[in-house]
Amino acid sequence: VTGLRHVEMCESIHLKLTSPDDVVVALKCVYEANCKPSSAAPFTLDMSYKKVLAYDCLCVSYFLSCYPVSQLEMSVCRMGDKGAEMLVKHISNEVTSSLLLELVGLSWNDLTAVGMEDVMKIVRTSSATLRVLDVSGNRTGDGMVSVITEHLQHNNVLTKLDVG
């Protein structure tokens, strides 16, 4: 992918995201070109049922830190705890402003309490907007439920929480 292609992807990324494969390619281009948005309406980023690698999650993290995303759907991506760690790599950065996420879907990703701790960084930075959190189908247990409830204490707008 040439530098010109990188710029084209940055300027019209919302037109390029038509399939899970396109999403991964576009996010990698944005990440590798260090693109910043000019201005954009909130995105829905849906990568459900696409097996993602840790690097893919890193690209998503960068995208979330730069672009307005209202819905992040990454269910059944099999990211595991390493993917969750990469997913928040740019989000836990002090420079990052609050996220605008209203929906986060991370069901069936083989997350444990360790990965859930990383995911909670997204929840904390979206506490004023997050209405739906779906982490069902992961390796649930008392540790995971306590991690979630601890971090949701400051969220007053959540209307649906699925940990089943």
DSSP string, 94-113: TT------SEEE--SS---H
Q: Quick check: 87 and 57 in contact, CB under 8 A?
A: yes
pLDDT of residue 6: 38
Cα gap 70→89, rounded to integer Å: 19
In this predicted structure, what is the pLDDT of residue 45? 84
Report whether 77 contacts 52 (CB < 8 A): yes
Average pLDDT of the segment spanning 115-125: 86
Q: Is 39 left (phi over 0), alpha (psi -120 to 50) or beta?
A: beta
Q: How confident is the model at residue 44 (pLDDT cuts 50, 70, 90)?
A: confident
